[in-house]
Structure 1
Amino acid sequence: MDLTLNHCPDACPLKVALVGECMIEMRGEPGTAIAQTFGGDTLNTAVYLARLNPRGAVAVDYMTAVGSDAFSVAMRRSWLEEGIGDAHVRVLEDALPGLYFIQTDLHGERRFLYWRGEAAARRMFEGPEAEAMLDALADYDYVYLSGISLAILLPQGRQRLVQALHHARRTGTRVVFDNNYRPHLWSNPETARQAYRDVLHLTDLALVTWEDDALLFGYRDAEALFSAYAEAGIREVALKRGAASCLIQCPTGRLEVPAQTVAHVVDTTAAGDSFSAAYLACRLRGGDPEQAARWGHRLAAQVVQYRGALIPKAAMPNMGASSLPSVVQA
């Protein structure tokens, strides 16, 4: 199944919903001044996806739950400033956003400390009030979620999300899944494996970090991973391997696309999220998988040279979009 969709009148942009959790991001060293912003894997992807697609051609929405506190209000404002819609954001008056703290070593590798157990996003699909959000998934051309999106949800909410994705896919919605596996967010590995399998059987495009799937499923090598994804019916898989080349399995065959060399890595936060955003952005704009991987590497190489998940807009690299076909609209 090709990711691009058939054309319709100009007033009809592609609609993409990203499901997940945005948190309060803090970085620095204990006992010193702390920088505060917002981030989270799917939110990072949403921001970069919105930046890489022309306004009016692709509509990017974020789907989550937040509180009514000042941080929640500020984070929603920041999404709107990035061109991300928040029409399907639940406000839970008795909850707050999660929080994480980034520490990086001399090589730019990051360590996260989390406070998220009672975060509003965990309850986004709980109760009858969630029905409208779940039904809305079928209104989108694409729904993007990650392993973290699954992990943070309470069991009933996770089950309701999978059921809603089943319905949405029957009506033509396509599912994009980033495997981001974080063991500490799951009660046990088998629960995680089952949740992943439930979503993988609905997935059209998988954006996979090798270390995460090797840890969760025990794959010996890329061939074993690709075989498992083919058995699940996934026709396009982009395998991210950090600073190494990206491997792609798609209907036209197997591809290997080298990464870009970075002389000085400052912070690897959101490297994978930005790769995923650029890959999807390129595919939505008519690029082929090889072009999409080159976009992914280019953006990730820029992102790791800045602190935090989101680089300044002025630092966004030139992706060479003029060489792509016109944006394909639903």
Structure 2
Amino acid sequence: MSSPQRVALIGECMIELQEDGAGLLRRTFGGDTLNTAVYLSRLLHDKAVDINYVTALGDDPHSEAMLAAWQAEGIKTGLVQQLQGRVPGLYMIQVDPSGERHFSYWRDTSAAKAYFDAQVTPLEAALSDIDVLYFSGISLAILPEAGRERLLQAASTLRAAGGKVIFDNNYRPRLWRDAAEARQWYARAYASCDIALITLDDDIAMAAGVVTTEQALATALALPVPEVVVKQGGNDTVVRLAGQPPQSIQPTRVEKVVDTTAAGDSFGAGYVAARLTGHTPAEAAATGNTLAGTVIQHRGAIIATQAMPNIKL
């Protein structure tokens, strides 16, 4: 029997507080790549794929609760570091009547920022056993410069050994000194990956100068990445394999958007799950759209297991 594919997703999971009426707050856990890991694990639970989350946590009760929650979702936690005296970051979500979310963050001393403080991290030590590495613009942004260098080096090492690297451009301006700094690191991330998942609005937000949607789309499709996926919200998703013309895939139509939290993260999970199980980019985009279309009809980043759509892979 062949060993399972091993997928590692690196980033930050935070305590999520969401207004739940009458001044009450509901506590859950979330973070872009963690959300993707959870949905990947649910989609691939019956496949020969191990989903591993890579981060640093503290030694506090919230960190222990996070680990237990991830393990209950089938996520492997052997690449997680627990740092004495540190705690996770925290964020609060407020959702407006249109379903758009607004965030407030408390994450400056988050344990995840210190993942690469170790001389050799669990991720670096395990690279030879990893088949796929998934990271995002937020994964890069939260790290100090030395940590970013080591993450990109790990990506390059994995690719050189035949592994695959996936980068989601998730852009949060407040995490960067300025857009120029972000563009520098994103260019290196694109050069280090096999699949780029691009939210076009984020791409436009960090562009140098004013660009139109058409210009941004053309620039994204011209990136030197073998596989490019451009997400455009309610408009068509566009996928492009190197040497082939782009394909447009209609998104899933949703009557009422409740909360757009984790829309892109869940799309990424659907897309990657489909690609790992042999589906074409167009089929994978349709899968990502189906999952994202379900997620945005519920509150919070992680929907209940019973609310998952019936996706066959």
Q: Give the TM-score band, short-chain normalised.
A: over 0.9
Shift of 1:197: 1.1
* Distance in 2 between residues matched to 1:56 and 1:203, nearest whole Å: 24
Out of 82, 101, 104, which is 2:95 matched to?
104
Q: Which amino acid aligns with 2:306?
A: A
- SS of the counterpart of 2:116? coil
What is residue 156 of structure 1 aligned with on the other side? 146
| Residues 1:237 and 2:228 are matched in the alignment | yes
- SS of the counterpart of 1:112? strand
* Distance in 2 between residues matched to 1:81 and 1:190, nearest whole Å: 40
- SS of the counterpart of 1:145? strand
Q: Which amino acid aligns with 2:4?
A: P
Structure of higher RCO (CA pairs closer than 8 Å, 6+ residues apart): 1
Return the TM-score normalized by structure 2: 0.94
- SS of the counterpart of 1:281? helix
1:176-196 per-residue CA deviation (whole Å, 9 max, x = no partner) reads: 000001010011222211111
Check the 8 A contact 1:27/1:35 in 2, yes or no. yes
* Distance in 2 between residues matched to 1:51 and 1:228, nearest whole Å: 30
- SS of the counterpart of 2:235? coil
Cα RMSD (Å) of the superposition? Answer: 1.6
Return the TM-score normalized by structure 1: 0.90
Out of 299, 306, 312, which is 2:298 matched to?
306
What is residue 77 of structure 1 aligned with on the other side? 68
* Distance in 1 between residues matched to 2:241 and 2:98, nearest whole Å: 34
| Residues 1:13 and 2:7 are matched in the alignment | no
- SS of the counterpart of 2:165? strand
Q: Which amino acid aligns with 1:281?
A: A
Out of 79, 85, 89, which is 1:94 matched to?
85
Q: Which amino acid aligns with 1:177?
A: F
Shift of 1:244: 1.3
Out of 202, 205, 209, which is 2:199 matched to?
209
What is residue 282 of structure 1 aligned with on the other side? 274
* Distance in 1 between residues matched to 2:256 and 2:52, nearest whole Å: 34
Out of 46, 49, 54, which is 2:37 matched to?
46
Check the 8 A contact 2:220/2:228 in 1, yes or no. no
User: Structure 1 56/289 Cα, relative in aligned 2: closer, same or farther at 3 Å?
Assistant: closer
1:231-290 per-residue CA deviation (whole Å, 9 max, x = no partner) reads: 52x121110011111011114421111111111111100011001100110111111011
Q: Runs ≥4 in structure 1, deviation > 3 angstroms? A: 218-231
* Distance in 1 between residues matched to 2:47 and 2:239, nearest whole Å: 30
What is residue 263 of structure 2 aligned with on the other side? 271
Q: What are structure 1's unaligned runs of at least 5 residues?
A: 1-9, 322-330
- SS of the counterpart of 1:144? strand
Shift of 1:144: 0.2
Check the 8 A contact 1:135/1:164 in 2, yes or no. no
1:298-325 per-residue CA deviation (whole Å, 9 max, x = no partner) reads: 111110111000111111101233xxxx
Out of 33, 39, 60, which is 2:51 matched to?
60
Aligned identity (percent) is: 45
Check the 8 A contact 2:259/2:300 in 1, yes or no. yes
Aligned length: 310
| Residues 1:254 and 2:246 are matched in the alignment | yes
What is residue 157 of structure 2 aligned with on the other side? 167
Out of 117, 140, 143, which is 1:126 matched to?
117
Check the 8 A contact 1:138/1:169 in 2, yes or no. no
Shift of 1:29: 6.0
* Distance in 2 between residues matched to 1:31 and 1:293, nearest whole Å: 39
Check the 8 A contact 1:125/1:134 in 2, yes or no. no
1:119-176 per-residue CA deviation (whole Å, 9 max, x = no partner) reads: 000010113153x432323421110000000000011111111122221211111100
* Distance in 1 between residues matched to 2:51 and 2:293, nearest whole Å: 23
Check the 8 A contact 1:209/1:239 in 2, yes or no. yes
* Distance in 1 between residues matched to 2:216 and 2:105, nearest whole Å: 33
* Distance in 1 between residues matched to 2:215 and 2:120, nearest whole Å: 43
What is residue 179 of structure 2 aligned with on the other side? 189
* Distance in 2 between residues matched to 1:242 and 1:179, nearest whole Å: 14
* Distance in 1 between residues matched to 2:139 and 2:59, nearest whole Å: 21
Shift of 1:223: 5.5
